[in-house]
Structure 1
Amino acid sequence: MTTYMPSITIPQAVFLQPAASIALPIALGSAVGYSTRQTKETYMALRQPPLRPPPWIFGPVWTVLYGMMGYAAYRVANIGLSPFSSPDTIRTTRQSMTVYTIQLALNLAWMPLFFGARRPVAATADILALVGVNGYLTYLWSSIDQVAAWCQVPYLAWLGFATYLCAGVGHLNGWDLSDKTVKKEGKQN
């Protein structure tokens, strides 16, 4: 069981405002995506496992998933922190806010690990932790709000697919992406 850790948890006020709760993960995810240079070129230069999607699909998919996770967090906070909620529900809600913050940090760390640092082993460990934390978060949210828990299902499914892609790319490229640089004309060194 997790404890509520206010010092590392997104402020409660963010969760209680629908626009802020939805916009925060979208804005942070977009910022990390834009800050990691040459992501598309690097992605295309790597050996890929079967079923890899085209690079343009990631932006829209992640935007929808970030929006759904923000909406789910808003629902949980509004229901679980209500003055009519039981002390156990309030405690579980606060704990889930800490777990949500941890999963968001893990999520945001993946792209810099994989594309920035070119560390597929660390990125695979990160995404495996992300799947586990989100499974636990879905469990916590299911006791507070079923809609919020169901909002996690597409995210968990995509994380499963992303884990396959991450581990597949790592394996097919010898778990070393350090030599996978991209020249300006788009050719791999």
Structure 2
Amino acid sequence: MKNVAVLALFLAVSIGGGFFMGISNPPGAWYAGLNQPWFQPPNWLFGPAWTILYVCIGFAGWRVWRAGLKPALLLWTLQMAFNLSWSLVFFGLHFILAGLLVLIGMLAAILAFITVTWRGDRPAALLFLPYAAWVSFAGLLNGAIWWLN
């Protein structure tokens, strides 16, 4: 029963935290007025993509907690802090370059998590691969928006 409760907690932090930051810092008119790169995905794609990623993030965190992988759990917490701060920095404060720096820190923490868990809990590492790909793309998008504006 404890495992289920902790899994629910990890999912609540990742999904709930992401949802809360998203509704607290919506893109709004400011973002709509920015010059966008040609590869900007449609807005409807971000919600489903992040929901799937947050489920993967929550499961990966639970797995490393269950396996007792403290360095991985620390990296999970660090990437989550970067993740949850990005919306505030980029959409809330309108700091485009600072948002890019947050994404770079997030990607570094994600890649470190994958590296640390690759031998200790490969499924947790694999759950982070799509996340690493998406954050890499988000960094490219964030960088392009900074360059164009």
Counterpart position of 2:107 = 131
Q: 1:16 to 1:133 in 2, by over 3 A?
A: farther
1:138/1:149 contact within 8 Å kept: yes
Residue among 16, 30, 36 paired with 2:19: 30
Residue among 32, 36, 42 paired with 1:48: 36
1:134, 1:15 → 2: CA distance? 24
Q: After superposition, where does 1:1-189 map in structure 2 within 5 Å?
A: 17-37=6-26, 39-78=27-66, 80-81=67-68, 93-173=69-149
TM-score in terms of structure 1 length? 0.73
1:122-145 residue CA offsets vs partner (Å, 9 max, x unmatched): 111110111111100111111211
Q: 1:134 to 1:16 in 2, by over 3 A?
A: farther
Q: 1:53 to 1:40 in 2, by over 3 A?
A: farther
Q: Secondary structure at the match of 2:36?
A: coil
Instruction: Give the counterpart letter for 2:56 in structure 1.
Output: M
How far did residue 102 of structure 1 move?
Answer: 1.0
Hey, which of these two has a bigger chunk of helix by percent?
2
1:27-53 residue CA offsets vs partner (Å, 9 max, x unmatched): 00100011114x143332211112111
How far did residue 155 of structure 1 move?
Answer: 0.1
2:138, 2:28 → 1: CA distance? 16
1:14/1:21 contact within 8 Å kept: no
Identity %: 31
Structure with greater Cα Rg: 1
1:118, 1:15 → 2: CA distance? 38
2:84, 2:4 → 1: CA distance? 18
2:64/2:70 contact within 8 Å kept: no
1:36/1:115 contact within 8 Å kept: yes
Instruction: Give the counterpart letter for 2:6 in structure 1.
Output: Q
Point out 4+ residue stretches in structure 1 off by more than 6 angstroms: 13-16
1:16/1:74 contact within 8 Å kept: no
